[in-house]
Amino acid sequence: GEPWTKVGHLDEAAVGRSVLIRARAHTIRPVGRKMAFVVLRQGMSTVQCVLVVSADAGISAQMVRFAASLPKESVVAVEGVVSLPKEDLKSATQEVEIQVRKLYCIDRADPNLPITVEDAARSESEFVRAEQTGEKLVRVGQDTRLNHRVIDLRTPANQAIFRVQYELENKFREYLSSNDFIGIHTPKLISGSSEGGAAVFKLEYNGQPACLAQSPQLHKQLAICGGFRGVFEVGPVFRAENSNTHRHLCEFVGLDAEMEIMENYFEVCDIVDGLFVELFKHLNDKCKKELQTINRQFPFEPLKYLDKTLRLSYEEGITMLKEAGTEIEHMGDLNTEAEKKLGRLVREKYDTDFFILYQYPLAVRPFYTMPCYENPLYSNSFDVFLRGEEIISGAQRIHDPELLAKRAVECGIEKSSIESYVRSFSYGTPPHGGFGVGLERVVMLFCALNNIRKTSLFPRDPQRLVP
């Protein structure tokens, strides 16, 4: 069978077996001249390897010295026997250790590492403890981590975060596929802004002005015009906004969906509801180990959500905020603070961290949003909140080309820039709606992380284009 054993698969059942492992040297600790401990790390798992000078095992003092001098992060191959650690030597996360017979250095790391994984993986509680014992620990700042992201990504928590992200993305595809949506890909090079506003990266496209798509909005609607009844896309979204916050990126991954609606836009809310309740269950179930690993470095409370997602109208939300004494502009959008506050109020009253806020004022929504038939000061739109922050916005769209053109002009959008889009609705278009989710935001908030840069592999923010 497979000659290489995975570190994560080592358990007491393997005691006594001879194994081959290839992994990175996490920490190296010589004990005198006759012994050395090398902790190997692979993905989210570590295991302690023990080298003891012994003629029987063929371990020379020279070999112990070689192991003790390995630079951290070197890739090594080890052959050894799985054993139970002596009680007083228990230290690694694995329940067993390896008595080394052979050790090879496959790729030697630079001994002057800019950061170590051991330092990058420390939790806040370790710093608190060190404070008490007077031990000096290195704190690796967010920017330093991102400058040396390839090392930073090796921490168990980071390995776990991107597995959670991947599960989320997969489940999104799977849920929508099984609800008769099909996956599509829309162009990222487009002729103008899709969300309105100035937050676009401009470029030249064979002598023509163009930009990077701010969302798949216009083309996912064109797919509906093109006869597809339900579509979804997982793809990059570009925003040239100069927002230096914990939750804005200049490039993020959009999870988008668009669908025909038969009666009203709450059918779109139903999809969001079904999708997210299943997603949360799936992550808690399938990613237990990952969530525990993240929790070890960044402790968080599990998410509270209801089997049927709470829906509040914008007016109900505003009333809750006003009754709690929050100053808020009526018919305005919610700022970050108001969102957080509403999140706390909803949690107290309804015991959930996840809810839908619907029927926003038309004035705070993009031009393509369908006004409320009964009261056109409002719109058939919604936002979705996770731990008091927006993760989704969605709406019914205008499918009448005349109304669409009128709304575009009212929103200050140049008519010529969206002529082809507007015309597409002239050839028979069903009522439709959809939503857009920010992948990094969902992972950040599900795990209650404090910065969206933690959930982007190589984040792009207003200051950062490298690595």
Residues with a known catalytic role:
239, 241, 247-248, 390, 393, 441
Residue 57: which of 76, 31, 75, 83 has the closest Cα? Answer: 83
Complex with ligand 4AD: residue 236 or 299, whichever CB lies closer: 236
Total of chain residues touching ligand 4AD, rule CB under 6 A: 23
The interface mask with ligand 4AD, positions 215-234, x = CB under 6 A, is: x-x-----------------
Complex with ligand 4AD: residue 156 or 434, whichever CB lies closer: 434
For residue 173, give every residue at least 6 positions away whose Cβ sits within 8 Å of its Cβ, in sequence order, or none. Answer: 183, 232, 234
Residue 226: which of 428, 56, 439 has the closest Cα? Answer: 428
Which residue is at the shortest CB distance from ligand 4AD? Answer: 438
| Contact flag: residue 392 with ligand 4AD (CB under 6 A) | yes
Given 96, 287, 391, 422, the residue binding ligand 4AD (CB under 6 A): 391
Shortest spacing between CB 331 and ligand 4AD, in angstroms: 18
Given 73, 290, 353, 390, the residue binding ligand 4AD (CB under 6 A): 390
| Contact flag: residue 461 with ligand 4AD (CB under 6 A) | no
The interface mask with ligand 4AD, positions 291-330, x = CB under 6 A, is: ----------------------------------------
| Contact flag: residue 438 with ligand 4AD (CB under 6 A) | yes
Complex with ligand 4AD: residue 28 or 437, whichever CB lies closer: 437
Shortest spacing between CB 321 and ligand 4AD, in angstroms: 19
| Token pair of 430 as six digits | 């069903």
| Contact flag: residue 193 with ligand 4AD (CB under 6 A) | no
For residue 372, give every residue at least 6 positions away whose Cβ sits within 8 Å of its Cβ, in sequence order, or none. Answer: 359, 362, 378, 379, 380
Neighbours of 277 (CB within 10 A): 16
Query: Which range of residues in 205-213, 244-252, 283-291, 404-412 is near ligand 4AD by CB under 6 A?
Result: 244-252
Q: In what order do the strands lie in the sheet with 432-438?
A: 182-183, 230-238, 251-260, 432-438, 389-396, 381-386, 354-358, 310-313
Complex with ligand 4AD: residue 97 or 440, whichever CB lies closer: 440
Complex with ligand 4AD: residue 167 or 195, whichever CB lies closer: 195
CA distance 334 to 331: 9
Query: Which range of residues in 25-33, 124-132, 327-335, 434-442 is near ligand 4AD by CB under 6 A?
Result: 434-442
Shortest spacing between CB 233 and ligand 4AD, in angstroms: 10
Complex with ligand 4AD: residue 5 or 194, whichever CB lies closer: 194
Query: Which range of residues in 11-19, 139-147, 316-324, 428-436 is near ligand 4AD by CB under 6 A?
Result: 428-436
Mapping DSSP onto H, E and C, the string for the chain reads CCCECCHHHCCHHHCCCEEEEEEEEEEEEEECCCEEEEEEEECCEEEEEEEECECCCCECHHHHHHHHCCCCCCEEEEEEEEECCCHHHCCCCCCCEEEEEEEEEEECCCCCCCCCHHHHCCCHHHHHHHHHHCCCCCCCCHHHHHHCHHHHCCCHHHHHHHHHHHHHHHHHHHHHHHCCCEECCCCCEECCCCCCCCCCCEEEECCEEEEECCCCHHHHHHHHHCCCCEEEEEEEEECCCCCCCCCCCCEEEEEEEEEECCCCCHHHHHHHHHHHHHHHHHHHHHCHHHHHHHHHHCCCCCCCCCCCCEEEEHHHHHHHHHHCCCCCCCCCCCCHHHHHHHHHHHHHHHCCCEEEEECCEHHHCCCCECECCCCCCEECEEEEEECCEEEEEEEEECCCHHHHHHHHHHCCCCHHHHHHHHHHHHHCCCCEEEEEEEHHHHHHHHCCCCCHHHHCCCCEECCECCC
Given 152, 195, 290, 353, the residue binding ligand 4AD (CB under 6 A): 195
Query: Which range of residues in 81-89, 90-98, 115-123, 246-254 is near ligand 4AD by CB under 6 A?
Result: 246-254
The interface mask with ligand 4AD, positions 138-177, x = CB under 6 A, is: ----------------------------------------
Given 98, 434, 443, 447, the residue binding ligand 4AD (CB under 6 A): 434
Site for ligand 4AD in 363-382 (CB under 6 A): none
CA distance 467 to 388: 31
Complex with ligand 4AD: residue 152 or 251, whichever CB lies closer: 251
Complex with ligand 4AD: residue 45 or 309, whichever CB lies closer: 309
Shortest spacing between CB 269 and ligand 4AD, in angstroms: 12
| Contact flag: residue 393 with ligand 4AD (CB under 6 A) | yes
Given 156, 343, 436, 459, the residue binding ligand 4AD (CB under 6 A): 436
Complex with ligand 4AD: residue 346 or 444, whichever CB lies closer: 444
- Interface positions with ligand 4AD (CB under 6 A): 195, 215, 217, 239, 241, 248-249, 252, 256, 390-395, 434-438, 440-441, 452
